Amino acid sequence: MSGAAARAPVAFLGTGLMGRPMIRRLVQAGHPVIAWNRTAEKAAPLRELGVRVAATAADAVTRAQVVVLMLTDAAAIRAVLLTDEVRGLLAGRSVIQMGTIAPSESRALAQDVADLGGEYLEAPVLGSIPEAEAGTLIVMAGAAEPALARWRGLLAAFGGVVHAGEVGQGAALKLAMNQLIAAETAAFALSLALAEREGVPVETFMEVLRASALYAPTFDKKLERMLAHRYGDPNFPTRHLLKDVELFLSEAERLGLDAGPLAGVRALLRRAIDQGHADDDYSSLREAVLGRDG
């Protein structure tokens, strides 16, 4: 990364659960950050870090060389980035899209940004709030080599950077990973529930699981929440995982893949949301498996 890029002012649009710790990492890396969030009060505490909080997305973009997006979905991105106020500001600027969207949506955004004279990279991340705070996220970049070389140093503030390929391939890799999150969590919740219902001690169940090739660290990370039925203060809300599962199913259909098992996980996520867990941690899949009433 060039010296100019190393000190580049960053417009960070979207200061939600992941946005806030990621902004802290940028500040620690020496980047001036101008933050904007649709709900302004979520961005206000960032002033204590020396972050300038912009009143509008256009104000943030005007003051920056590179625009980082951590927004909910492609519709939200378009509603922020491609408004009349912002689109005219993208010429000569780089846009780094870091949320989870479909490969086709990312490629369409890349074309729109290019048509406006800007540069587009996708860089979705694997990991949650603890990894964002520690700077140990896995960044899955989809971009041309020169663009990635220009901004690799900035992305390294968040964690390890993997070049997945061209635009669209980083988004595909992220969806592939999030499908595993959904499937593994649902499968773990179901196996745990059967063992419990049959009177197998949880400690015995976990002892065997940990000693086997079936074990994944995420199981222990979610076990305490599941046993306590405590899903507040989420690392990743249930409704966001449902959104990603829907994206995966759509892409699978387009590619001719049979994603039948994932459709069952989608039904469980919908049930968890109907039970009132939309904004709770996605480990609330446990409640859907148990068939609890909302």
pLDDT band with cut points at 50, 70 and 90 for residue 293: low
Domain span at residue 55 reads: 3-165
Predicted local distance difference test score (pLDDT) of residue 1: 46
Given a cut of 70, whether residue 232 has pLDDT beyond it is: yes
Single residue among 143, 165, 187 that ends a domain in this structure: 165
Average of per-residue pLDDT values in the chain = 95
Give yes or no: residues 132 and 196 share one domain.
Answer: no
Task: Check residue 294 and give its pLDDT.
Answer: 44
Q: Are residues 114 and 242 in the same domain?
A: no
**Mean pLDDT, to the nearest integer, of 224-252?**
96
pLDDT at 227 over 70: yes
The pLDDT score that the predictor gives to residue 259 is 96
**124 and 267: one domain?**
no
Percent of the chain residues past pLDDT 70, beyond the cut: 97
Locate tokens 């990603």: which residue?
Answer: 244
147 plus 182 within the same structural domain: no
Specify whether 45 is located in the same domain as 143: yes
What is the number of other CB atoms lying within 10 angstroms of the CB of residue 208?
13
User: Do 12 and 158 belong to one domain?
Assistant: yes
* The pLDDT of residue 280: 98
Task: For the chain, give the DSSP string.
Answer: --HHHHT--EEEE--STTHHHHHHHHHHTT--EEEE-SSHHHHGGGGGGTPEEPSSHHHHHHT-SEEEE--SSHHHHHHHHTSHHHHTT-TT-EEEE-S---HHHHHHHHHHHHHTT-EEEE--EE--HHHHHHT-EEEEEES-HHHHHHHHHHHTTTEEEEEEESTTHHHHHHHHHHHHHHHHHHHHHHHHHHHHHTT--HHHHHHHHHTSTT--HHHHHHHHHHHHT---S-SSBHHHHHHHHHHHHHHHHHTT---HHHHHHHHHHHHHIIIIITTSBGGGHHHHHHT---
Tell me: the pLDDT tens digits for 6-57? Answer: 688 999 999 989 999 999 999 999 999 999 998 888 888 999 999 999 999 9
Q: For residue range 89-136, what is the model confidence (pLDDT) as tens digits? A: 999 999 999 999 999 999 999 999 999 999 999 999 999 999 999 999
Asked if 234 and 254 sit in the same domain, the reply is yes
User: Residue 281 has what pLDDT?
Assistant: 97
Question: Do 12 and 42 fall within a single domain?
Answer: yes
The residue out of 133, 165, 197 marking a domain boundary is 165
Residue 69: what pLDDT? Answer: 98
Domain count, the chain: 2
User: In this structure, what CATH number is given to the domain that contains residue 62?
Assistant: 3.40.50.720
